Amino acid sequence: MSVTIIDVAREAGVSRTTVSNVFTGKDKCSEETRLAVLAAAKHLGYKPNLAARSLITNQSRLIGMILPSYVDPNTLTSSPFYNIIMDSVYSVLRNEAYYDLIIFPVQYKEKLVQVSDWIDARNVDGILAVGEFDRNFLKVLKSKSIPVVLIDNYSQTSDANFSYVNSDDTTGGYLATQHLIEKGFRNIALCSVELHGPLMQKRYQGYKRALKEAKLRETVFDKTGVPFEAGIQYAEALIAQGLDAAFCTEDMIAVGILHGLLKKGVKVGEDFGLVGFDNIYLGYQVYPELTTVDQNIFEKGETATRTLLNILNHSNSTGSRLVLPVNLVEREST
């Protein structure tokens, strides 16, 4: 005979409703009670039938994550940023709620109907959208009337179903550039990919402010493409123009520049200052280790996921805007 929710409730000494709340992730009991229910379920070998539950509650227990693969078709292999975000989301879903994560890479911005059909077919309860998506895309999400948390998006949409989680990107750009100035560098370039986007513009504004305060001139490098490959190409231009430092709006650009400069015999950290943005693991695996702006990517993913779960579990449809602090991590490249 299979173990039921009634058996678990009896074993844990709680009500059926309490057991149900634990397995649906609703925050309606103490941590002690939650652990007691989980222990009873494990002891009895109880496993909730989420498929059956979804038919009753009309909830799929699925969180959809949307990634902007139109920027780079190899998003998950070429950018550690997205891997860290995914790890953080999984950590919350695995430890705090019975939700599963499914991923949809948006490969063509003009084919928004694909996103719409995917949301309908999967019947996801909520969306985590990572990266910059335009107004038309957000209209598609809005039409679904489900909660959406946007990560690294600076849209001005004030829809109640939308919440935003960003880093203090402008301050990050300022700290990075100010650090290079304090280290004695004077010809400081900004190196970016897709600088026209709102996110990179925030980091650019911080760079501009620091240079203006020090009365130094701007030099901006920007192109489309894969950040690492762009960085390798920037390295030659930096040398050719006699620049002595660079602030990169992504760590992967900085790693590419580092690779290119070292091949040319440039002593990074002595003759050339280099600062990235993200604090991905590659930053301390390269040599010299990369000075960078830490935006705590893992915390960003956790915060976005908990924000979404809070909306789902408490029927709170009021959107919010969270800005997470950043800090400079000084290493050998400066």
Over the stretch 96-111, which tens digit does the pLDDT of each residue have? 667 889 988 887 665 7
pLDDT surpasses 50 at 221: yes
The answer as to CATH 3.40.50.2300 being correct for domain 62-167+297-324 is: yes
Residue 180 pLDDT > 90, yes or no? yes
Q: Which fold has domain 169-294?
A: Rossmann fold (3.40.50)
pLDDT at residue 71 is higher than 80: no
Peptide bond into 147 cis (omega under 30): no
Q: Tell me the C-alpha distance between 200 and 217, whole Å.
A: 19
Pairing of strands 188-193, 219-223: parallel
Please report, for the chain, the start and end positions of each structural domain, with discontinuous segments joined by +: 5-48, 62-167+297-324, 169-294
Which pLDDT score, from 0 to 100, does residue 12 have?
Answer: 86
Q: According to the model, what pLDDT value does residue 266 have?
A: 95
Gap between the Cα atoms of 124 and 122, Å rounded: 5
Of 13-22, 30-39, 311-320, the one with minimum mean pLDDT is 311-320
Q: Do domains 62-167+297-324 and 169-294 have the same CATH topology?
A: yes
**Mean pLDDT, residues 79-102:** 87
Q: What digits encode the pLDDT tens for the residues 248-302?
A: 999 999 999 999 999 999 999 999 999 999 999 999 999 999 999 999 999 999 9
The pLDDT, as a whole number, for residue 15 is: 86
Q: What pLDDT is attached to residue 50?
A: 59
**CATH superfamily to which 5-48 belongs:** lambda repressor-like DNA-binding domains (1.10.260.40)
DSSP string, 238-293: HHHTT--EEEESSHHHHHHHHHHHHHTT--BTTTBEEEEEE--GGGGTSSSPPEEE
What does the pLDDT read at residue 172?
A: 98
The better pLDDT of the pair 143, 253 is held by 253
What per-residue confidence (pLDDT) applies to 235?
97
